[in-house]
């Protein structure tokens, strides 16, 4: 097990318990750990820093164990990829005013490379991705697969001062040491380069409505942020914050029903009802509990 501290102020003592751990460490395997989009109330012990407001898990599995689990994890959210492409593509276009002509883009935690497809569709031609799961990369399209590096970030294949924009979506909450991670991002960026990060929000609607049943409290998530904490940790690592904003996710109606912690029997009935009336794929945009930041290496 690994004991963690607040990634912003370094405190271990000035914390309060949010939720007790809900699973035994020995029972965590790749099936439990693979990216899921259904609330299951499986998480480490969750603490909140009384100085910063940062929420974090502690203790957690060892770093070697976590890396092994990510190596063997599976991509399990293919049905939601079209919606994710729309959402992330929208916020990518928000960064264009900060980018030079013909920017070099890097995505960290790219899964099967679907966001790289969206970046290419938005006329960014020099795109690269880093993803530790060979199984996820194997599902990438042929032209995308050759642009993906199977590794953890940082990787020697990304040189210092070589990237104009780094993107990561629902990734930083998985990082054991977010300060080292952001320092590596800073090093990889050219001067004037930017980060686009979208994260869960501990002050978001899903937490306010669902508490511990919110999908953001998950065995994969180590550090969880609100707007203030996101700004603070980027600033701590040398970035200048350009924007911090609420994110509206655009998903079909069936997805929102599936994510809500309703009894399984009722949920299946409701989804079937929506399908019968051709409403299950109706898009619904909601600010359900994600935030974003655009930060720059000045």
DSSP string, 270-295: HHHHHHHTT-TT-EEEEEEEEEEEEE
Residues with Cβ within 8 Å of 143's Cβ and at least 6 positions away in sequence, in order, are none
Separation between Cα atoms, residue 53 and residue 244, nearest integer Å: 17
251 vs 80: CA distance, rounded Å: 7
Altogether, the residues listed in the chain come to a count of 298
Structure tokens at 291: 């935030």
Q: Please tell me whether residue 131 adopts helix, strand or coil conformation.
A: strand
CA dist 282 and 79 (Å) reads 14
Q: From the CB of residue 156, how many other CB atoms can be counted at a distance below 10 Å?
A: 7
Domain at 78-205+225-296, CATH from 3.40.50.150, 3.40.50.2000, 2.60.40.3880, 2.60.120.260: 3.40.50.150
3-state DSSP assignment of residue 62: coil
Domain ranges of the chain: 78-205+225-296
Q: At a CB cut-off of 8 Å and minimum separation 6, what does 174 contact? A: 70, 109, 220, 221, 222
**Residue 198 CB neighbour total at 10 angstroms:** 22
Q: Contact, 55 vs 223, CB < 8 A?
A: yes
CA distances from 272 to 39, 254, 269 (A): 20, 9, 5
Q: What is the per-residue DSSP string for 216-265?
A: TS-TT--EEB-HHHHHHHHHHTTPEEEEEEEEEEEEEHHHHHHHS---HH
Neighbour count for residue 167 (Cβ, 10 Å) = 25
The pLDDT value given to residue 39: 53
In the numeric block, which tokens belong to residue 156?
Answer: 């020697």
Return d(Cα 9, Cα 51) in angstroms, integer: 8
> How many angstroms separate the CA atoms of 166 and 23, rounded?
34
Residue 252: the pLDDT is: 84
* Full pLDDT tens readout for the chain, 298 residues: 899 999 999 988 899 999 999 887 777 777 677 655 455 678 999 999 999 999 999 999 999 999 999 998 877 677 789 899 999 999 999 999 999 999 999 999 989 999 999 999 999 999 999 999 999 999 999 999 999 999 999 999 999 999 999 999 999 999 999 999 999 999 999 999 999 999 999 999 889 988 998 889 989 999 999 999 999 999 999 999 999 999 998 888 888 787 777 777 888 888 888 888 888 888 888 888 899 999 999 9
C-beta separation of 160 from 100 below 8 A: no
Q: Is 108 helix (H, G, I), strand (E, B) or coil?
A: strand
Q: Give pTM, 2 decimals.
A: 0.90
pLDDT attached to residue 36: 53
| Predicted pLDDT of residue 149 | 97
Rg of the chain, C-alpha, whole Å: 19
């Amino acid at each position: 097990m690994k004991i963690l501290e607040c990634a912003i102020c370094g405190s271990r003592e000035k914390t309060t318990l949010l939720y007790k751990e809900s699973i035994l460490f020995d029972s965590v395997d790749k099936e439990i750990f693979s990216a899921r989009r259904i609330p299951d109330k499986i998480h480490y012990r969750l603490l909140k820093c009384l100085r910063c407001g940062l929420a974090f898990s502690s203790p957690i599995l060892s770093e070697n164990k976590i890396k092994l689990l990510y190596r063997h994890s599976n991509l399990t959210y293919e049905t939601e990829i079209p919606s994710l492409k729309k959402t992330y593509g929208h916020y990518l276009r928000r960064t264009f005013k900060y980018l030079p002509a013909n920017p070099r883009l890097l995505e960290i935690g790219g899964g099967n490379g679907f966001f790289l497809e969206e970046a290419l569709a938005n006329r960014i031609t020099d795109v690269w991705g880093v993803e530790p799961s060979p199984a996820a990369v194997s599902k990438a399209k042929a032209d995308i697969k050759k642009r993906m590096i199977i590794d953890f970030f940082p990787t020697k294949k990304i040189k210092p001062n070589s990237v104009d924009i780094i993107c990561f979506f629902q990734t930083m909450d998985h990082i054991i040491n977010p300060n080292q991670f952001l320092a590596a991002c800073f090093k990889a960026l050219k001067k004037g380069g930017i980060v686009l990060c979208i994260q869960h929000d501990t002050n978001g609607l899903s937490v306010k409505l669902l508490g511990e049943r919110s999908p953001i409290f998950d065995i994969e998530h180590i550090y969880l942020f609100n707007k203030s904490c996101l700004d603070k940790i980027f600033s701590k690592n040398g970035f200048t914050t350009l924007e911090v904003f609420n994110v509206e996710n655009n998903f079909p109606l069936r997805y929102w029903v599936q994510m809500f912690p309703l009894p399984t029997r009722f949920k299946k009935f409701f989804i079937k009802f929506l399908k019968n009336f051709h409403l299950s794929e109706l898009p619904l945009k909601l600010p359900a509990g994600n935030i974003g930041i655009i930060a720059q290496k000045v």
